[in-house]
Amino acid sequence: MITVYVLKSTKDGARYTGMAKDAERRLKEHNGGKNRYTKGHIPWEIVYTETHKDWSSARKREKFLKSSDGLKFLKNNGLFV
């Protein structure tokens, strides 16, 4: 199973969307400064996840969540202002 996840920076409210086999391990990497974008917004917390059966379907959902319609979806679920 592949997890699509949305992170929120507790420092400045920035948003990051990604996918991984192990979202908790990936969160530790983000908080450890192993990603160029996310290291400037540490610390991060997972605010939304959903699982998919394969990388292809997870990638489609990740792309949606990064779009303006995806941001509306996240806002309507109270995750971002």
Q: Which tens digits make up the pLDDT trace of 62-75?
A: 999 999 999 999 99
Alpha helices, H only, 7-77: 23-31, 55-66, 68-76
CA-CA distance, 74 to 42, in Å (whole number)? 21
- pTM for this prediction: 0.91
Closest to 30 measured CA to CA, from 22, 19, 42, 13: 42
For the domain spanning 2-76, the CATH number is 3.40.1440
User: Is the distance from CB of 21 to CB of 10 less than 8 angstroms?
Assistant: no
Per-residue pLDDT reduced to its tens digit, 40-60: 999 999 999 999 999 999 999
pLDDT at 31: 97
Mean pLDDT of 12-36: 95
pLDDT at 81: 63
